[in-house]
Structure 1
Amino acid sequence: MALHERAGQPTQKQDLINIPHLVSQYYVNAPTPAQPVSFGTSGHRGTSINSTFTESHIAAICQALVEYRTEKEITGPLYIGMDTHALSECAFTTAVEVFVANGVKVIVQAGRGYTPTPVISHAILTYNQGKTSGLADGIVITPSHNPPQDGGFKYNPPNGGPADTDITNRIQDRANEIIKQELFEVESMDYTEATQTDLFEEYDYIKPYVDDLKSVIDMEAIAKAGVKIGVDPLGGSGIAYWDVIAETYGLDITVVNDSVDPTFSFMTLDKDGKIRMDCSSPYAMAGLIKLKDQFDVAVANDPDYDRHGIVTKSSGLMNPNHYLAVAIQYLYTHRAQWKSSLAVGKTLVSSSMIDRVVNALGKNLSEVPVGFKWFVDGLYTGEYGFGGEESAGASFLRKDGTVWSTDKDGIILALLAAEITAVTGKDPGQHYQALVEEFGEPVYNRLDAVATTEQKNVLKNLSAEDVEAETLAGEKILAKLTHAPGNNAAIGGLKVVTENGWFAARPSGTEEIYKIYCESFLGAEHLAKIAEEAQAIVNQTFAKAGV
């Protein structure tokens, strides 16, 4: 993809969406069979503009979720979080109307405020601790870092993490049945009436979460060292948390932008010229990167705060893979109460720098398919000390080795950067350079290749025997993976590994493309060779299948 000419530059008037039009379309538009409920790795997403995220979708999803809760005897409260996207407000209203009409107790942020994804996970786990019945679950209304016109809806069952595929498929299929029946089975009531019932509870999510941060982060060390922290909330759901964190723990935190604007007009444009609150993108993060020398550490999060962006004086915006490696190295050497048997969870498309760090630590590596849902059980049971994915999402255990959250938590990953700086006297960027000196310097890339629906299906269902190549970019192929070694789950694609490089190919769930992730420890030229041969290997499998 060519870099947009205005990438990294401030938005202009023509870049901004028409909020009244967007909101009206949520209520006016109705989905057709071509615009069904579709749960991907991060819930149902879409926009009212093209009728992929409408009142009908959300009402049907909520009714299907009510039925699922009844079947599974989930009778505790439903915690509701939402971010600052315009359509999140609309979907929040619909959700309350349907859940309360069905007799479900909902708990929302007081004053109709915003609540991050990790805070909902933390609240569910806290409520359910020690219980075997009357368990709570939750939803988060967010399209994550997607553009301002998008909406999204996620479900977190009683284990606090993202729902697995079995659950989301059931909710998705039932919701689509309800839509086909023109919402006849949806129970709903007036929003104002719903808020006046005993089933609607306003609650301060902020203080319990902030007060508990000391159990997972060494807040005292950060305060004692006087680490200067710059925060750009990117107009997201955690915007009210940072001042409370600073006051509670005596931290030197400066919020550089306190705007909440559903057009996200304060952003700089991403690489494709779109407004996207991607805290791992140097283009979307251009504003904070400019301020890097004013702070010891500067951080940002996406709108629902499940992702993190780390900016240091030494390296600017850190590549997410680089920071994950540093976080793992630090945590497994600075958490004295953690069991020595704790494994490290990573996704198949995360950097092999992590593999080398974990091997040097003498820990077990659990490599799983893409999607944070694969880390939920390991974090919940305390098998994993850390679970992280290449898209800047991670979580880890409390200092005593018990579960903190089973969903990605951008807040603790941001604060961990400050803890690392405070305790070691070096920022995370400096620590990564030390890892490079020890293990070598990888180069990493992700690119897209055109593929038909038939070709994507072939890629999704490959077996290792379908791959005939024996070498990749001049090195012997050591592994051909179609199932993740950490849990033997199908990866929905292919990963090929050599001593100093690898590639993974996965079909897109929404576009006529497949994605190639690749990495080399031998430099950019070797990486380019890997990418070239990766496409050739995939094309050979297409030809073999006759597509």
Structure 2
Amino acid sequence: MNNEITRWLQRDPDPKSRQELQQLVADNATAELADRFNRRLEFGTAGLRGVVGAGPNRMNRLVIQETAIGLGQYLLRTDNAAAHKGVVIGYDGRPDSRQFAHDTAAALAAQGIKVYLTTKVAATPIVAFGVKHLQTAAAVVVTASHNPPAYNGFKVYWNNGAQIIPPHDAGIAAEIDKATQSEIHLMDLAEAEAKGLLVWLDDAYYQAYRQAINSNPLLNNHHNPQDISLAYTAMHGVGAEMAETLLADAGFSHVYSVAAQREPDGTFPTVKFPNPEEPGAMDLVIAEAKQHGAILACANDPDADRFAVAARCDDGEYKMLTGDQVGTLFGYYLLNHVQASTSLVGNTIVSSTLLGKIATALGAQYYQTLTGFKWLTNVAMERQTADHQFLFAYEEALGYTIGNAVWDKDGLSALVAFAQLTAELAVTGQTVWDQLEAIYREYGLYINAQRSIALDPTAAPIGDSLRAMPPQVIAGLAIVRTEDFKISLCTFADGTVEAIDLPASDVLIYHLADGSRVVVRPSGTEPKLKCYYEVVEPMSQEETFDHAQRRAQATMDQLIAQHQASL
């Protein structure tokens, strides 16, 4: 390891991380050094993400430069026009993000690849938008999204505007491995600009995104926007300026932004964890909403690709909508504003199946993918036809995309769409809670939950155990069919077998006799099991919504308890 440390110190361009590493050596911090040097941050379909620090198993300038060289080499090898097409590069508000983005540009330009570099911080969807807008070979966003302050990341988009999927991830990773053994070549950005290899993306580019969102017909449903009010937080991220602009463009004149969280700040001083799903993360925006009597309390995560919302209830308090509830509302709303029979909508296998039920009832095409937005958009592009154009997709982890201006989750356009949905309901005196109740009365009350279970690290892999001795019942309910994505087969109770047309993944889904569902995803990196539960309860017109909710929750609690006990 000493030779590796010496070589790293010779290559590392950052005096700060070199000093950090030298201090670890001086302190004889063998365990820490081993963690940093025994492996390298793995490049996958989400690119890179990790803690900032010195060493190959951390995010730092050298890792970024080697990664950018690997990406450039892969682009040049797979696309003859890649150098001319170029790469869009943007970054979030974390302390190292601007430097990492500039290092990426310098490494790509040194390979003769044109780069389009944002002049300031940019929301992830604004950068992803650039691929199709500028017809580039790829895009890079330097962001760790909603991870804690110590993290940063390097996310890659392909020439179709979507996040990379196999085989590109493995191809880029192989080139990164070569780059770690090669000399680093960079081009000064001033030289790159002089040679025509660097184009700065200034305000005109941001306005192009704004125009694309405003011209999206799905975001032009103007029903008295001035009559509703909403609170908004960027959660110390990069979304505020564009979010407020788009809402104003759509006619929403009563928008109250949380001042303490409006400006980019990668230390995230007012939240323990900058993820809207985490307890307490929405406290300030809900307080802002209460202060102004707003209908909605809305949030983007720090890179503004996710959207979260709490809505005011009859008692004046605010309650968070789940990602599945927002996805259901979007699906129902959009499919009732277009010709559903020519539309394509989708979600992931761990998201609620209610969207599929609504789509089928309204005559739309519906698809499911593995977990991850990269699958939702790449599959959408494959599935859409002249007769069925892509309309909408979502994942339960607060990711939504509406239309095809951005082929990734876009929390900014989702914010506008949800405000418009709410304003339309308000015209008739309805709320989003009223709309959800109406949907549930029509299609059944769907509730979803997720639990993680720690497993005995010395035990056999749980997925293998479940496959060796398949359960016949869960919580006293017969399993009517089992989907095994590792072997790509769906097995029915009568023994009938059907193929599953999705990439292999270590996931098992059990469909129960009462319409409930249990999804089991063993972790590939730790002794942990992720379980996703769905309960479907019919509702009579006479039953109160509160009573039906309590009944569904009791069923869910029983399902979770008995399933976990069986493991």
TM-score bracket for this pair, using the shorter chain length: 0.7 to 0.9
Q: State the 1:376 CA deviation.
A: 1.9
Partners of 2:516 and 2:221 in 1: how far apart? 41
Alignment of 1:260 with 2:260, yes or no, is no
**Greater C-alpha Rg:** 2
Structure 1, unpaired ranges of 5+: 1-21, 129-134, 268-274, 398-402, 540-547
Q: State the 1:224 CA deviation.
A: 5.0
- Cα distance change of structure 1 residues 218 and 226 upon mapping to structure 2, 3 Å threshold: farther
Partners of 1:27 and 1:441 in 2: how far apart? 58
- Provide the secondary structure at the position in 2 that maps to 1:491: coil
Identity of aligned residues (%): 23
Hey, what does 2:419 align to over in structure 1?
Answer: 418
Q: How does 1:333-482 map to 2 (within 5 A)?
A: 333-336=336-339, 340-380=341-381, 382=384, 383-397=389-403, 403-425=404-426, 426-451=430-455, 459=463, 466-482=468-484
Q: State the 1:41 CA deviation.
A: 5.0
Amino acid in structure 2 at the alignment position of 1:47: V
8 Å contact from structure 1 (residues 26, 55) kept in 2 = no
8 Å contact from structure 2 (residues 189, 198) kept in 1 = no
Hey, what does 2:132 align to over in structure 1?
Answer: 125
Alignment of 1:291 with 2:288, yes or no, is yes
Partners of 2:74 and 2:125 in 1: how far apart? 23
Partners of 2:130 and 2:223 in 1: how far apart? 25
Partners of 1:390 and 1:475 in 2: how far apart? 25
8 Å contact from structure 1 (residues 417, 428) kept in 2 = no
Partners of 1:24 and 1:517 in 2: how far apart? 43
Partners of 1:422 and 1:394 in 2: how far apart? 19
8 Å contact from structure 1 (residues 77, 104) kept in 2 = yes
1:189 aligned to which of 187, 190, 194: 187
Q: How does 1:90-169 map to 2 (within 5 A)?
A: 90-110=99-119, 113-128=120-135, 135-169=136-170
Higher relative contact order (CA 8 A, sep 6+): 1
- Cα distance change of structure 1 residues 388 and 63 upon mapping to structure 2, 3 Å threshold: same
- Cα distance change of structure 1 residues 478 and 464 upon mapping to structure 2, 3 Å threshold: farther
- Provide the secondary structure at the position in 1 that maps to 2:445: coil
- Cα distance change of structure 1 residues 149 and 385 upon mapping to structure 2, 3 Å threshold: same
Partners of 1:50 and 1:479 in 2: how far apart? 49
1:317 aligned to which of 315, 320, 323: 320
Hey, what does 1:209 align to over in structure 2?
Answer: 209
8 Å contact from structure 1 (residues 456, 507) kept in 2 = no
8 Å contact from structure 1 (residues 379, 406) kept in 2 = no
Partners of 1:451 and 1:463 in 2: how far apart? 12
CA RMSD in angstroms, aligned pairs only? 2.9
- Cα distance change of structure 1 residues 528 and 68 upon mapping to structure 2, 3 Å threshold: same
2:43 aligned to which of 39, 48, 71: 39
- Provide the secondary structure at the position in 2 that maps to 1:395: strand
8 Å contact from structure 1 (residues 231, 254) kept in 2 = yes
TM-score (normalised: structure 2): 0.79
TM-score (normalised: structure 1): 0.81
8 Å contact from structure 2 (residues 233, 299) kept in 1 = yes
- Cα distance change of structure 1 residues 187 and 454 upon mapping to structure 2, 3 Å threshold: farther
Partners of 2:379 and 2:167 in 1: how far apart? 18
8 Å contact from structure 1 (residues 233, 300) kept in 2 = yes
Hey, what does 1:132 align to over in structure 2?
Answer: none
8 Å contact from structure 2 (residues 341, 365) kept in 1 = no
Alignment of 1:300 with 2:299, yes or no, is yes
Q: State the 1:235 CA deviation.
A: 1.7
Q: Which moved more, 1:373-382 or 1:327-336?
A: 373-382
Q: State the 1:495 CA deviation.
A: 1.2
Partners of 2:289 and 2:412 in 1: how far apart? 19
- Provide the secondary structure at the position in 1 that maps to 2:167: helix
Alignment of 1:508 with 2:523, yes or no, is yes
Q: State the 1:225 CA deviation.
A: 4.7
